[in-house]
Every structure is written in structure tokens, then in C-alpha cells.
Amino acid sequence: MFERKNRILLKELVKTDFKMRYQGSVMGYLWSVLKPLMLFAVMYVVFIYFLRFGADVPHFAVAMLLGMVLWQFFTETTNLGMMSIVQRGDLLRKLSFPTHIVVVAVSINALINLLINLVIVFIFALINGVQISKFAFVTPFLLVELYAFTLGVTFILATIYVRFRDIGPIWEVFMQIGMYMTPIIYPITMVVNVNQTIAKIMMLSPMAQIIQDMRYLLTSPVNLTSWSMINQKWILIIPYALPFVILVVGFKVFNKNSKKFAEII
């Protein structure tokens, strides 16, 4: 019965957050699609049309859109999830329920947006004549990896934010740095041509690994991946295992501190 009540609460939180996100705006839910498309249009003109990034990679425009959509999910979940406990402080003081439900609700909302945006990417891919790999069935496993990594990081950030609000602007700066250190608006081949060691280190990041693997499966096999760049198996396993390690650690840290959240807030 307790678990059923938690599921109902989670469902209601997801519905409420989704309705409140664009409440009062004329375009409403369309902003969940328009925001990444508008950003993509700017990036396309600057980095592909003028600077000619990705000229050696087939369908790089679609690959860039895919990378931006995946990064947007990570950004949206961590930013909103980080503040979710503080924003739901009144609910925590009135009701007794597992606190992690609040963070999970935020992540599910962002996941819904991600799935909608992936449909847009798929439409762009069809228009551009992209040949999707026969191994595209692996994509859901990469989405699970992305979700695990994002949720784990969000649990840690939400725990810290309850005590130290300064983590908000610090994380914002870190996300800007992270975006440019991840091959999103440029292909990883640009880094390989400059320094292969740096490129391999970059591919140890779960976000870089996920984005490049997704590009390989959904846009073009020309896209380099961590397993095509790193020969040592014990090193190669790092970006694939790290998301689940961070999820477990993040959840334990969050759970350990969650009993004091209501008092601190």
C-alpha cells in the first residue's frame, strides 16, 4: 500500500511539474521542442555554416542536434533537480514520503522532453537521408546509461544545494565548461587531429561516450567512439561503468542526508 501511494505521488508530481513549466506562456508545451531547435539554428549558422565544423563527418548537422538534445537533458535535470528539494520544502514538512521521489519526478519530466526531442532528431535524420545503423536497437541501453548518470549527479547536487546554495552558480559555470569540453558543437576528430591523448581523455567522460555512441548508431559510423579510440579494456569500461557507480553513490549520499532536509529548509 505504501509503495502504491508513492507511485501515485510521483505521478502527480510529474503531472504538476509538467503543467507548471510553461504555464502562462502562449506557446505552452511547444517550447519543449522550440528551445533546442532555436539553439540548434544559431549553432548551425555559426559553427557549421561559417566555421565549417564537421565538414569531414557525414550529416554532422543532425549529429550536432542529437548531441545538443542529449546535453539539454543532462542540463535540465541537474539544474532543476538540484533545486527541487528546496522548492518542495513545504511538501516535505507536511507529508511523510521518500524524499527521492521529488528528484525522480524532475528527471522523468526532463526524460519526457528528451523523448519528444529525439523524435524531432529522427525526423531531421529522415529528411537528411541518414542511414541508421542496424545496431540502433542498442540506443535504449545508452538512454538508460544517460538517465543513470544524470540522476546520480542530480542526487548529489540536490543534497549539497540544501546546505550550500552557492553550488547553483558554480554548477552553471561548470556546465558551460563541460559543454565545450564535450564533442557537441564540434566532432571529436578535430581534437584527434590536434592531440590524440587529449581526445582519449575526453572520451572517458560518460557524456562524451554516450553522445558519440548515439551518433555512431543514429547518424553515421564515421563518428569515432570510445571503443574505437581506446584499446585497453580496463580503461574502456570506465565511461560505461561510471554512470551506475555515480547513481549508487549519489542515491546513498542523498538518502543518508534526506532525514535532515525538512529541518534545514
In angstroms, the Cα distances linking 65 to 43, 170, 189, 204 are: 9, 26, 17, 22
Secondary structure of residue 58 in the 3-state scheme: coil
User: How far is C-alpha 122 from the chain's CA centre?
Assistant: 18
pLDDT of residue 98: 85
Sorted by sequence, the CB contacts under 8 Å of residue 192 that are 6+ apart come out as 199, 224, 229
**188 with 203: CB under 8 angstroms?**
yes
pLDDT of residue 134: 87
Q: Quick: pLDDT tens for 108-161.
A: 999 999 998 999 899 889 988 888 888 999 999 999 999 999 999 999 999 999
Sorted by sequence, the CB contacts under 8 Å of residue 136 that are 6+ apart come out as 217, 218
- In angstroms, the CA 241 to CA 235 distance is 10
Secondary structure of residue 154 in the 3-state scheme: helix
The ranges assigned to domains in the chain are 2-264
- 199 exposure class (CB count in 10 Å sphere: 0-12, 13-18, 19+): buried
pLDDT at 189 over 60: yes
Per-residue exposure over 228-250, b if at least 16 CB sit within 10 Å of its own CB, e if not: ebbeeeeebebbbebbeebbeeb
pLDDT of residue 1: 38
pLDDT of residue 33: 73
Sorted by sequence, the CB contacts under 8 Å of residue 196 that are 6+ apart come out as 229
pLDDT of residue 22: 66
* pTM of the full structure: 0.91
Q: Quick: pLDDT tens for 14-70.
A: 888 777 776 666 565 677 777 777 878 888 888 787 777 878 888 899 999 999 999
pLDDT at 250 over 70: yes
In angstroms, the Cα distances linking 55 to 3, 52, 66, 127, 259 are: 52, 6, 17, 19, 53
Average confidence (pLDDT) over 70-89: 93
Chain mean pLDDT for the chain:
89
Q: Report which listed range, 1-5, 51-55, 97-101, 253-257, is most confident.
A: 253-257
